[in-house]
Structures are given as C-alpha cells and as structure tokens.
Amino acid sequence: MIIQSGCSTAGILDRSGKRFGSEEIVSAMKVMNERNNGLGGGFAVYGLYPDNKNDYAFHILYNSELARDQTEIFLEKMFKVVGHDKIPCEEKFGAPLIERYFLKVPKKNLVNIDEESYVVHCVDRINSEILGTFVMSSGKNMGIFKGLGYPGEVAEFYKLDQYKGHMWIGHGRFPTNTPGSWFGAHPFGLLDLSVVHNGEVSSYGANKRFLESFGYHCSLKTDTEVFIYLLDLLLRRHKLPLKTACNVLAPPFWSLPKSPEEKKELEIIRRIYAGAIVNGPFSIIVGHKGGMFGLNDRIKLRPMVAAEKDNLFFIASEESALKKSYGSFDRLWAAEAGNPVEGDLDVQ
C-alpha cells in the first residue's frame, strides 16, 4: 500500500519531567509502518543523560576511521572532552562508525562569541569541512539515534530499550526527492533542537540561499535540513516568539480576517524573511529543551493530531499511532493549518 501523504511522525512528552522508556514511541511508529519504506528512521530523546546534563552530547556518524581521527583532533582542539565511547549498536552491514562525546566549552575560547553560537560554529565546520563525518545531535541532556531501516529496526539497532527520557520523538522516512541515507535520515538536530518532517520543501533552493546569507551550510542536499537551520535562526539567533516564527515559516493567507496591527506585523516579517517562507506540503514536530511543538503548512496538506492524557502530551501523524499504547485521551484534536500546537515541560 502506498501512503500518498508520506512519512510517519510522533512525539510523546511527560510534562512533569518523569523519564520513561522507548516502548510507547516505538510502538507508535510501528503502527505507521505503511507510511515508510525502510529508507530511514530515527528518534530524538530528551532527558537522556542526567549524569552529564551540563555537557554537550555529540552523537557522530563516521564513514571511515580517517574521518573519525580527523574529527577527534578537531574536538580536542575546540572543546574539553569529558567523556567518549562507542554508542552501543547491533552488528549491521553497511552501518557507519557511531560514537558519542561529552564536551565542555573552554571559557578561553569564547572571544566575541557566546557559547551556543560557538557550538553551532563547530558543528558546521565538522559537517562541511571533514569529509565523511556528520554530527547527528549536539545538545545537552538529549541525543538523536537514526539510520537506514524502519523505525522499529533502528530502535533495535541502537538498543533503545536501554534508554529513558522525558520526551521521545520518532520518524519513519519515505524519501521523495532525495535518496535514503544514514546521514539524511530524521530527526535533524542542532543544539537542543530536533525536527522530524513529513512532506516536501519545494522552496529548498530559496531557503538554502537565504540561510547561506547568515552563514549556514546545507551540506546534505535533503529538503528537511533547512528546517533545523531556519528554526535555529528564528528562535535562537533572532529570538522571535514561537508564533511569529511559525508565521514566517507558514504565513497565513492575506484573505483571513486580521486586525490592522496583525496585518502590519505580517507585512514586515514577510519583507524581512521572504527567503524563509517554506513552500510545499509539510507537517513537522520540533523538540527543544522546554518541550515540543508541531506545525502544519498553511493549508494542512499533511495530517497531524495532538492529544493530552494526565501529564502526557502527544503529537502524531495518525490518531491510531497513539491509541495502541494509550487507548483514550483527556483531549484529542486535529492541529490547525499554520498554527503551532505546543506542549511545555513543567520543570526545567
């Protein structure tokens, strides 16, 4: 069966900060296997490393030992490495080398740059300058695990049943414009942000050129990559409120009723951020240190539902993905086109 609306996405957040295992998110992703074709799957986990919660956790894929050696020289130069190991994985033919590093930023390195911008700069240099290396995730107390295969297979490969977190985000990929690959699977991450995407970005070229004007490099040639850099630019660097950032990515139609003040604001952000408007059908789930949110394109060409039950907040491509594990909900609703649905962590 071909699912024309593409990939599968799901997110589960315990707003109280209670950590739980991978069983429910993996089950949700398996329910939606018909949306996938085995060419990519992955998970982002938050609250993953409580013993190293103040360190940047780099999950890195390597295509060769040379790439690993070059990257480790760079990491030793730019950071204080306080922990390093191979991420436990099953044996799998064709899998890259996959390693994990816990890093601190030396204060002496922060000359005319803040710590998070420094980390982003280092991630960009690794991904764009060291051939055969890709930083999957670089945030604190979180990590991304992704690769080729269905989501359930990826979970088994990384032995995710050994981990706990207060938020899990999953993705099953049905590549349309780009080939499936370990590097190009979802989620995409940068600092504490992670994003999973269902759909297509037909404005990829314009978005890529806009991002390059701010110093970002889209090195993977996959449309979803622009989302993580646009979100970093809008939310971290330009400090836009979430609703405003969503109006940049998925601007509402001019014909919709708006006050004069709202119309003026929309005119301004469209002029400033014309290159950041994302065209094409999409739904995304975005994780961050304070919770998660979901966003549809402005005419909702990709499905997305949200739900609440006790302390839990959910977002998924399908209601059925959540019902298998949780049955009924206190509240269940369809996300509105162009308007974010948000779940916030009650404790930081």
The model's pTM:
0.94
Give residue 324's pLDDT: 83
171 part of a folded domain: yes
Rounded mean pLDDT, 288-316: 95
E strand residue ranges, the chain = 8-14, 41-46, 56-62, 80-86, 97-104, 133-137, 142-147, 167-172, 188-190, 193-199, 282-288, 291-296, 305-309, 312-316, 331-334, 341-344
In terms of Cβ atoms closer than 10 Å to its own Cβ (0-12, 13-18, 19+), residue 55 is buried
Taking alpha carbons only, the member of 334, 329, 330, 331 closest to residue 317 is 334
Q: Are 329 and 307 in contact (CB under 8 A)?
A: yes
Q: Are 31 and 320 in contact (CB under 8 A)?
A: yes
218 labelled catalytic: no
188 part of a folded domain: yes
- Maximum CA extent, the chain: 60
Catalytic residue among 7, 122, 218, 246: 7
Number of domains forming the structure of the chain: 1
252 part of a folded domain: no
Give residue 179's pLDDT: 74
Give residue 348's pLDDT: 61
309 part of a folded domain: yes
34 part of a folded domain: yes
Q: Are 216 and 233 in contact (CB under 8 A)?
A: yes
Q: What is the CATH number of the domain that holds 13?
A: 3.60.20.10
State the Cα–Cα distance between residues 37 and 40, nearest whole angstrom: 8
Query: Does the pLDDT at position 256 exceed 80?
Result: no
Give residue 3's pLDDT: 52
**Average pLDDT over the chain, rounded to whole?**
93
60 part of a folded domain: no
- For residue 332, the Cα-to-chain-centroid distance in whole angstroms is 23
54 part of a folded domain: no
For 51, the 3-state DSSP assignment is helix
255 part of a folded domain: no
Q: Which domain holds residue 193?
A: 8-48+141-199+280-344
Per mean pLDDT, which range of 49-53, 198-202, 306-310 is the poorest?
198-202
